[in-house]
Amino acid sequence: MAKKIIYSAIQPSGIMTLGNFIGAVNNWRSIQENPDNQCLFALADLHTITVRQDPEQFRKNAMSFFALLMAMGIDKDKSILYFQSHVHEHSELAWLLNCYTYVGEMSRMTQFKDKSAKHSDNINMGLMDYPVLMAADILLYGTNVVPVGVDQLQHLEIARDIAVRVNNIYGDIFNVPEGMVNKVGAKIMSLQDPTAKMSKSDPTPNAVVSVLDDPAVILKKFKKAVTDSDTNIIYDPENKPGISNLLTILAVCTGKSIEDVVAECDGLRYGDLKIRVADAVIEMIRPFRAKYDALMADEAYLLEVAREGRDKAAELARPYLEKFKRAIGYVLI
């Protein structure tokens, strides 16, 4: 029986946050353990340049994210780990799919509107075209399932729409992928504004926890986390977003259900809850740091793994791209 193709990616910009780990990477680690899955996990570095990057820092961030994914347990022997820009088929398929995507669809995308407002001095075509490249990323491998955050569901829906549109014209070309959203931890919120997602671009330092923060820094940030004026520890994202966010983080870090952590924390003061959550986060990420430092000290090995991932990904991608090009009528040699 053919393996189920699982595809997901993360942009190597700024820092890897606790939200990135809980919302994406932690889930990837579990998915790759299923022998029926063929997992591809990419550093989406083509997407990253929709916002201007300092070249030296960009390369440094990309290598750091690659090492972090390996240190956190993304196993090159169980998954295909690679840089998106190393597989040229992504860019080629994105151009082809542009010709089957409507301008109106792109202009209505929520992320395009949000990023245009934040980067009004650089509203480039890449920013608008981002979802088409994301569709190419997914469709290039015959992907069946995409582990995705709730904020990316609109992009996945566009990928599905494009796949259906192409299939209606040319027959069975692309799989129409399904989304997979975490039941717990799909969206970790800012520690300073629990109504907003924890974002690597947040200008408020205490709002975001980096997986590379020192334990003392992590504890300090959680102690300053915004909660509310109540004293009850209950899970109610709408009315108690700060406390609910802390409970979500604690549940993921300890591997327990929301119900269990709520019961265990009953009667705690908010300050004690914050310390308990900080301790759980510190313990969860502690093993990664030593592995990360060792990997960052051996760039030759990181590049060797990247080349291996590139070759495996390209081998899978090529037949899907050629099938589409042949259907369009291109001369293949």
Which residues does the annotation mark as catalytic? 115, 197, 200
Q: Beta strand 4-10 with 37-43: parallel, antiparallel or unpaired?
A: parallel
Short-list 73, 54, 58, CA closest to 11: 58
Strand ordering across the sheet containing 4-10: 79-83, 37-43, 4-10, 145-147, 178-180
- Asked if 249 contacts 277 with a C-beta cutoff of 8 angstroms, the reply is yes
H helix and E strand count, the chain = 14, 5
* Alpha-carbon span 170 to 143, nearest angstrom: 18
Strands 79-83 vs 37-43: parallel, antiparallel or unpaired? parallel
CA distances from 90 to 163, 169, 301, 313, 322 (A): 15, 21, 24, 10, 12
- Residue 184 CB partners (closer than 8 Å, separation 6+): 248, 251, 252, 257, 258
Alpha-carbon distance of 161 to 138, in angstroms, equals 12
Separation in Å, CA 205 to CA 15, 244, 281: 12, 21, 17
Q: How many CB atoms lie within 10 A of CB 277?
A: 26
Residues 323, 152, 165: CA angle, nearest 5 degrees: 35
**14 Rama sector, left if φ>0, alpha if ψ -120 to 50, beta otherwise:** left
DSSP state at residue 197: B
